[in-house]
Structure 1
Amino acid sequence: MSELKIYNSLHRQKEVFTPIHPGHVGMYVCGPTVSGESHLGHARPYITFDVVLRYLQFLGYKVRYVRNITDAGHFEEEGREAEDKVSKKALLEKLEPMELVQKYTNLYHWAMLQFNNIEPSIEPTATGHIIEQIEMIKTIMEKGYAYEVNGSVYFDVKKYAASHDYGILSGRVLEDMLETTRELEGQDEKRNKVDFALWKKAPPEHIMRWASPWGEGFPGWHIECSAMSAKYLGDQFDIHGGGMDLQFPHHECEIAQSEIAHGEMMARYWMHNNMITINGRKMGKSYGNTLTLTEMFSGNNPQLDKAYGPMVIRFFILQTHYRSTLDFSNEALQAAEKGLNRLWAAYELSQKLTWSSDGQAINEELDKQVRRLCEECPEFMNDDFSTAKVLANLFELVPIVNSLKGGQIKMHELSEDTFRLLQETWKLYLVEILGIKMEVLGNDEDLLDGVLQMLINMRKEAKARKDYATSDKIRNELLSVGVQLKDEKDGSVSYSIQKD
């Protein structure tokens, strides 16, 4: 197998990927809290790890991909009271909590299918694994790292940090956290401000509640993922993924409680995608700038100039390396849409071309260039899944494919092996690894514009080579079907469509 390097957030460096069991990979990705619609920020981790899954499978690994559903609704985050998001939203929508969960789980699954994401091997729910969470809490208590107060159970962070590296993932220092973490009402029962809940006693108004050795209550947020990943992937597995916002407190707490329960680091490689901003600003409800996926697909939001198809959003996300910040704007999405249409048109052309030779000499320089652009694609993917560089190479191949179709480059100029590699590279990387699907590339008007821009670029390239016969042929044939080109004074080319 090829040598794959992954940036491991745990050690803050790229490392050669070596799975625990040769040929097999266990991967756990934190799934959504289904208390509302998925938004644009949710699209990035699931598209990112879908590509990771696809590439691992391409390399020949058998992958068990576990992505959970958080349906218990409880969060306990730094600087925030415990909040039952599911119950709160269920009251607002006048639904039973599990009715609300089903509604938004269905919507989430629908969105993932629109993005052409492969379904996980296992999709466990928090409410379906209460027993496993209780058993794990009992183990942590037996080892002396958790304590019960008034029906709630807390993890003793200070005791853990005395003999373990609390902050190993996020780089945070416990002493600083003790100084900066503010006191919250009702949390004076904790020994330390930084202790986190493994189990919370349910107040009378709390709808979602389960019996436990400590009384009726509900699980803390962090214990869910630790219990479910251990059940399906073992005490230690290969890759744990999620958004960068989960590094602290969620993943840090997972590491602490799992290490006490199982005696070892729960995952060997930790991967985190960066955030999506909107016009340079963090996306969030408090800023009033969130965009749900249904709004993105329909265009029904005042922040949107138009609707954007799922493949356009997928392509937009993959144009930037997953560890870099990605800024959304209408201009960026529209540019991505045009770029994707141009790539897809070239891909379709590449698959229709056939190689032939009349014995003339190969263009060695061109042949070498095409092979380099194709052979660099696996190198880029092996370098921490650099999808942006793969796409850049595909864009460099576009004019070559167009010129092969238009006859400006003769087929004999490429060797048969290089031509086959060219065809295989387009299909493998654009379709199979990056997961682009043709049927959702936007509306017909956008697709037409993409095709016309491709032809305009072909004409420009012909004129630059002083191949005026080809340039005139493109202009005349477009005119014959009602498309008139106009050479503008600034060097650009506009077009108008003559309708009957």
Structure 2
Amino acid sequence: MDKQQQKLVLYNTLTRRKAEFEPLHAPHVGMYVCGPTVYGDPHLGHARSAITFDILFRYLTHLGYKVRYVRNITDVGHLEHDADEGEDKIAKRARIEQLEPMEVVQHYTRRYHRAMELLNVLPPSIEPQASGHIIEQMELVNRILANGYAYESEGSVYFDVARYNQDHRYGILSNRNVDELLNTTRELDGQTEKRNPVDFALWKRAAPEHIMRWPSQWGEGFPGWHCECTAMGRKYLGDHFDIHGGGMDLIFPHHECEIAQAVAAEGEEMVRWWVHNNMITYNGQKMGKSLGNAITLEEFFTGSHPLLAQAYRPETIRFFILQAHYRSTVDFSNEALQASEKGLDRLFEAAERLAKLTPSDGPSTIDVSTLRTRCEEAMCDDMNTPIVISHLFDAAKAINTVHDGRATLSADDLAELQSAFRLFMDDILGLRSAAPSDEKDEAYRRAVDLLLSVRQQAKQNKDWATSDRIRNELSALGFVVKDTKDGAEWSL
């Protein structure tokens, strides 16, 4: 299928329907994704959101779009109780550990980047930090004040939800009734300075113990959590851009407040498509830091959490996440991860075998010509990665059939199968296959093959001690060695 014929369909949370995606300024696409708040180690929820939008980034690029992908770093911090009250979590950690807040930020930003690198998540085009855009957030607050949708109170500035709802609709993304919110939201201690409990902070007065603070016309304080994405999205993507994404837990209040801020400041919505990934669950309950059941990515990679039966490779985590549609929940269990590991190894083994296949002189005896088209159709249908994976497993069966001598492939069909398999396995799904791709990988493969040839010679000499030692040490390094009638095969 020609790229020009591929019509990407996405689910738009705002309209609650799937529709053909047409960028505002084709072939350019502006995409903003809410990134991490860097006050702790990244966990599985961070991985799911990052991988979801990495897939979208990769596929839009594959379709020929020039994508400006912005993913922010929240380093001003979330607040302890809600978006208005309490102590900034980064400031709290800095105070407890007697560090500068930016030391905390830098430490966890590095850990997040390292985890994303291991998961093969491509870096965004721009990664702005909230603390570097205080002026832009102040300007946003001033515009909302000037338009009459916010008010000052005791050194803070709040968004006036009731006033906004007279002219527009608050709750359009989450489909909430603002009158019910106004009537049922309880008043919390310390929020008497707000006209309504549902009003949210645009600028918050800093308490004496608050470390992270900036001077402003309203006094020393810090911007509300919701301001940063609106301000930075406009700065880097313009007054109107194509996609805004994040986890489903951000729909309300964060993204709802973003829409209200943009409309209050400029009179119209800023984002055309809202795309949200669903949650990671454990025993049916959301997995997250706030519930105390989160497992960090470092713990997955090392197996050091009590809920884990073993350590899991980064590519296993990525594959586990991609086996579910991005709008479906993913329930964590060791059994599911172990099944993912076995399935991924089957695909890696097929990729290795595919790289070694030789074409036949005659015609193909099996049809592999539709792999590319079927995978493209699945990706264009709201990024249906589970279906893409099922097509790759079908291709793996065909590869194994040819490998075992039960079928043949012509030179053209083999080249097309290698190209399509590599495209969707490596480039789009981002699963690093075992097939050699450069000189280093080729040298690496030859070194392992050499060891296995030494082991084969040892077996022929009935030197079982040497044979077992080579196999066991390769196994300890993560290699799977499978004896065959012609020698041995290996995968990582």
Q: Distance in 2 between matches of 1:263 and 1:445?
A: 62
2:317 is aligned with 1:313 = yes
Where in structure 2 are the equivalents of 1:38-437 lying within 5 Å?
38-75=42-79, 81-285=85-289, 287-358=291-362, 362-363=364-365, 366-367=366-367, 370-411=368-409, 415-437=410-432
CA contact (8 A) 1:27 1:64 kept: yes
2:41 is aligned with 1:37 = yes
CA contact (8 A) 2:364 2:408 kept: no
Deviation, structure 1 residue 82 = 3.8
Deviation, structure 1 residue 81 = 3.3
Q: Distance in 1 between matches of 2:356 and 2:184?
A: 63
Q: Which runs of 5+ in 1 are unaligned?
A: 456-473, 484-500
Distance 1:147 1:307, change over 3 A: same
CA contact (8 A) 1:77 1:249 kept: no
Q: Distance in 1 between matches of 2:47 and 2:137?
A: 28
Deviation, structure 1 residue 93 = 2.5
Percent of matched pairs sharing the same residue: 58
Q: Distance in 2 between matches of 1:482 and 1:183?
A: 67
Query: Is the partner of 1:371 in helix, strand or coil?
Result: coil
Deviation, structure 1 residue 217 = 0.4
Q: Distance in 1 between matches of 2:78 and 2:317?
A: 30
Query: Is the partner of 1:354 in helix, strand or coil?
Result: coil
Query: Is the partner of 2:226 in helix, strand or coil?
Result: helix
Q: Distance in 2 between matches of 1:77 and 1:168?
A: 25
Deviation, structure 1 residue 477 = 4.8
Q: 1:8 aligns with which of 1, 12, 21?
A: 12
Match of 1:459 in 2: none
Q: Distance in 2 between matches of 1:207 and 1:240?
A: 31
Larger displacement relative to structure 2 (309-318 or 178-187): 178-187
Distance 1:232 1:444, change over 3 A: farther
CA contact (8 A) 2:240 2:270 kept: yes
How high is the TM-score relative to the length of structure 1? Answer: 0.86
Deviation, structure 1 residue 85 = 0.8
Query: Is the partner of 1:427 in helix, strand or coil?
Result: helix
Q: Distance in 2 between matches of 1:94 and 1:310?
A: 33
Distance 1:150 1:345, change over 3 A: same
Q: Which runs of 5+ in 2 are unaligned?
A: 436-473
Query: Is the partner of 1:239 in helix, strand or coil?
Result: strand
Q: Distance in 2 between matches of 1:79 and 1:94?
A: 25
Match of 2:451 in 1: none
Query: Is the partner of 1:350 in helix, strand or coil?
Result: helix
CA contact (8 A) 2:87 2:210 kept: no
Letter in 2 for 1:374: R
Q: Distance in 1 between matches of 2:50 and 2:38?
A: 15
Q: String of CA shifts for 1:229-278, please: whole Å, max 9, x gaps.
A: 00000011000000000000000000000112122211101000000012
Distance 1:122 1:387, change over 3 A: same
Distance 1:162 1:444, change over 3 A: farther
Letter in 2 for 1:155: F
Q: String of CA shifts for 1:189-217, please: whole Å, max 9, x gaps.
A: 11111110000001111111001110100
Deviation, structure 1 residue 389 = 0.4
Distance 1:81 1:226, change over 3 A: same
Q: Root-mean-square deviation (CA), in Å?
A: 2.2
Distance 1:373 1:5, change over 3 A: same
Q: Distance in 2 between matches of 1:482 and 1:351?
A: 13
Query: Is the partner of 2:327 in helix, strand or coil?
Result: coil
Q: String of CA shifts for 1:343-399, please: whole Å, max 9, x gaps.
A: 0110122122232324xx554xx32xx233432100000001111100011111112
CA contact (8 A) 1:380 1:386 kept: yes
Match of 1:18 in 2: 22
Q: Distance in 2 between matches of 1:83 and 1:251?
A: 22
CA contact (8 A) 2:84 2:204 kept: no
CA contact (8 A) 2:69 2:126 kept: yes
CA contact (8 A) 2:31 2:68 kept: yes
Distance 1:89 1:25, change over 3 A: same
Q: Distance in 1 between matches of 2:385 and 2:342?
A: 18
CA contact (8 A) 1:74 1:219 kept: no
